[in-house]
Amino acid sequence: MIELRKDIDDIRRMLKANLFQDEQHVRFSLVGRICQSLGWNIWDPSEFYTEYKVKKIPPKNLSKDVTGKVDIALFIPEKTSEGAEVFIEVKTAGRLEYEMVSGELQLLTYNTYHKSAISILTDGIQWRFYLPTAGGDFDDRLFNELNLRDDDPDEVCRVFEQVLKKDNFRKKAVDTAEAMRKERKKIISINLIKDDAGIIAEKLDQPIHIIAQRLLKTKYKLSMPLEEIEALWERTIPGSSKLSTPSPDIKAPTTPDPPKGRNGLPPKPADIYTFKKVKRVFVIDGWHEAKNWGDVKVIVYNRLLDGLKSGNLSKTYGVSQDLKIYRRPASLRDGYYTDLNLSSYNVVWHCHVALYSLGYDPIKDLKIEMEGNNESHERS
């Protein structure tokens, strides 16, 4: 692991210096280097197979994005009967955010008939790890993700060692991936009920983790011991505790933090957003086009960012320069992030809380226009 850590440190230096200028740089000088550190012979084309042509692919899926060729396929030659151990789709550094959908479609298609043990989508910075044999949607097969440039380097090395080291293939790597996938699903479930648990706990004056335990059982038929809920409460990246530790300036609340205001929390918005498509949003002094509900929060939070930077909202409602604390981070200006792992209702609620915390009136200063609605939506 010492050699891997040296390589990771050097790659991080080069990433921060923007030395990886195209996809080929990422494929060989970055991904290839890591594979070599993990025991793969990148000089043997039967083991480190670039532009590997999948022999069978649904014809309807062929397109300019899905060519039938995997960027990198890792094989153990003496085990070729089991097929590729790993499929890796590579994007230009910094482009994964914009090519996530096409990249996942590529991996999904390539694994239709020839399932790899592990599949990876990466631009060298962001790494997303999938377990193709798992059921459900492709997102259900995601078992871990990391940021090679920004995450704790020891944790980056640990994840790579566990799920990409040649000596672990294939049983140990797959078993580890499945354990991480199950933990990730628990973390997602906890994050989905956090807001409701906080509101109910505050109203009933009961411990938030007990309320969360009940909600998990009721909504998702998921029975979890209190100790496990508490251990996973602030976790955002499966299989890693240090990666998801909030920055020192972020306080992890045990209940939702009431924003500053004369009457505590602002009024709850009306729950009429489900299955509605947003068109544009008005915040404080102007209208902005919005393609989806995530855009609404990004627009509002960018408008309020200067105030939110110095505000006292917790990470649940606030902003941070540490994207690791969020389940689904969204980029704001000035290097800040906020969370988009929310329903449309909670997007509006978070916007209300943020506006109210800075002295604005959420009813007057936030208006949302939706399809089929010629008038601005101003209800609370």
d(CA 217, CA 195): 16
Q: Is the pLDDT of residue 72 over 50?
A: yes
Report CA-CA distances (Å) from 376 to 193, 271, 327, 366: 30, 16, 31, 10
Q: How confident is the model at residue 88 (pLDDT cuts 50, 70, 90)?
A: very high
Average pLDDT over residues 243-268: 40
Q: Round the average pLDDT of the chain to a whole number and report it.
A: 83
Lowest mean pLDDT among 22-26, 257-261, 313-317, 318-322: 257-261
Nearby residues of 27 by Cβ (< 8 Å), 6 or more positions away: 50, 71, 72, 90
- Give me the pLDDT at residue 82, please: 65
Measured distance between the N- and C-terminal CA atoms of the chain, rounded to whole angstroms: 55
Please determine, for residue 256, whether its predicted confidence score (pLDDT) is greater than 50: no
% residues pLDDT > 70 (the chain): 83
Tokens, residue 327: 């389940």
pTM of the model: 0.60
User: Band of the pLDDT at 44, cuts 50, 70, 90?
Assistant: very high
When pLDDT is cut at 50, 70 and 90, the band that residue 262 belongs to is very low
Q: What is the pLDDT of residue 260?
A: 41
> 142-147 and 126-130: which strand pairing?
antiparallel
List of residues 6+ apart from 277 with CB closer than 8 A: 292, 370, 371
Closest to 207 measured CA to CA, from 254, 253, 256, 251: 254
Is 339 within 8 Å of 328 (Cβ atoms)? yes
Q: Would you say residue 76 has pLDDT above 90?
A: yes
Question: Tell me, what's the pLDDT at 254?
Answer: 34
Is a pLDDT exceeding 50 seen at residue 244?
no
Whether residue 241 has pLDDT greater than 60: no
Find the mean pLDDT for residues 326-355: 88
**pLDDT of 160 strictly over 60:** yes
| Helix 153-164 × helix 2-16 angle, to 10° | 120
* pLDDT tens-digit series, residues 302-322: 999 988 987 667 777 889 988
Answer yes or no: are the C-beta atoms of 129 and 107 closer than 8 Å.
no
Specify the pLDDT at position 97. Answer: 77
Span 283-291, average pLDDT = 90
Of the given ranges (32-36, 69-73, 116-120, 235-239), which has the lowest mean pLDDT?
A: 235-239
Residue 179 has pLDDT above 90, yes or no: yes
At 376, the pLDDT band (50, 70, 90 cuts) reads: very low
Q: What is the pLDDT of residue 243?
A: 31
Average pLDDT of the residues in 19-38: 95
More confident residue, 368 or 275: 368
Task: Tell me which of 31-35, 55-59, 181-185, 208-212 is least confident.
Answer: 55-59
